[in-house]
Amino acid sequence: MAIITLTTDLGDKDIYLAALKGSILKLLPDVNIVDITNSVSTFNIQQAAFILKNSFHYFPDNTVHLIGIDTVYNSFTKYLAIHYKNHFFVGADNGIFSLMFDNEPEEVYEINIMQDLKFLHFPLADIFVKAACHLAQGGKIDEIGLRISGIEKKMNLQPVVERNLIKGAVIYIDSFQNVITNITKEFFNTIQQGRRFTLYFKRNETINHLSWHYNEVPEGEKLCLFGISDHLEIAINKGNASGLLGLNLGDSVIIEFE
């Protein structure tokens, strides 16, 4: 069965998500629509990119991922259909793809589907849906657009190494209030090289041990671990790490090695 996933900032209180799903089902009644999330903060392409980057690879090959973040028409933004690692992506060329992809995508097409004027303010339910349904049915990507050479570039905040330190930052806070940093497991292991470490963050808090799972420490105790995204997380077992530790998006974290 064809799969189309949705990653949007539409929420679930208004008509927009229903209009989007209904438009898909009109064109492709048997499709399996999967909500990755519709609760991205408004226009927050960094948040959407993090979620989709760390979830799309769990889906079968040829899944189509429709991205509804900052898609309102303007004269500068292109709408793209992209083939990357055996998946298809449909979204606006607003920098989100460069934040998601580790490598250049295999194919990038600027969608040239004619827009229905009644959907001018809501291209998601028209252009994006038509492109996604075409791809989900096995249609060729070159039938819905013109091939282009690149995508809009934006840069994720990267950790910095200085002597025996890694300087990182908080890039995501999940629904459990776990604090996720931009320090990946691969990056950490490359710099650590078996050395002991101390993780420093707000309020002079420190952690000097990597946990394998949240219940490795007593309830209410803080810990750090590499979670499902392979990024270093700061958490409290069955607690609110962001609120209790005062950690917010953009805050600095430092790892010192001995």
Residue at 114 is within a domain:
yes
Percentage with pLDDT > 90 across the chain: 86
> What is the rounded distance in angstroms from the CA atom of residue 79 to the CA atom of residue 62?
19
**pLDDT for res 1:** 84
Question: Which residue range(s) make up the domain with 72?
Answer: 3-147
Whether 140 shows a pLDDT value over 90: the answer reads yes
pLDDT range class, residue 122, cuts 50, 70, 90:
confident
pTM comes to 0.89
Q: What is the pLDDT of residues 36-55, one digit of tens each?
A: 999 999 999 999 999 999 99
Q: Can you list the positions of beta strands (E) in 160-251?
A: 160-162, 165-173, 179-184, 197-201, 205-207, 222-226, 231-236
Percentage with pLDDT > 70 across the chain: 98
**pLDDT for res 160:** 95
**pLDDT for res 117:** 60
Name the phi and psi angles at 127, rounded to 5.
-65, -50
CATH code, domain carrying 115: 3.40.50.10790
Whether 217 shows a pLDDT value over 80: the answer reads yes
Selected residue with higher pLDDT from 79 and 156: 79
**pLDDT for res 14:** 92
> What is the rounded distance in angstroms from the CA atom of residue 97 to the CA atom of residue 104?
9
Residue at 222 is within a domain:
yes
Residue at 152 is within a domain:
no
Q: Which DSSP category does 227 fall into? A: -
Instruction: Give the mean pLDDT of the chain.
Output: 94
| Sequence-distant (≥ 6) Cβ neighbours of residue 96 within 8 angstroms | 45, 48, 49, 67, 69, 70, 154
User: What six digits make up the tokens of 12?
Assistant: 């679930």
Q: What is the pLDDT of residues 85-119, one digit of tens each?
A: 999 999 999 999 999 999 999 999 999 987 766 66
182 to 62, 76, 237: CA distances (angstroms): 29, 30, 21
Residue at 153 is within a domain:
no
> What is the rounded distance in angstroms from the CA atom of residue 226 to the CA atom of residue 149?
35
Query: Within 13 Å of residue 97, how many CA atoms lie on the same side as its CB?
Result: 28
**pLDDT for res 120:** 62
Q: Which DSSP category does 214 fall into? A: G
Return the closest-CA partner of residue 116 out of 48, 26, 32. Answer: 26
Whether 245 shows a pLDDT value over 80: the answer reads yes
Last residue of a domain, one of 147, 179, 213: 147
Domain count, the chain: 2
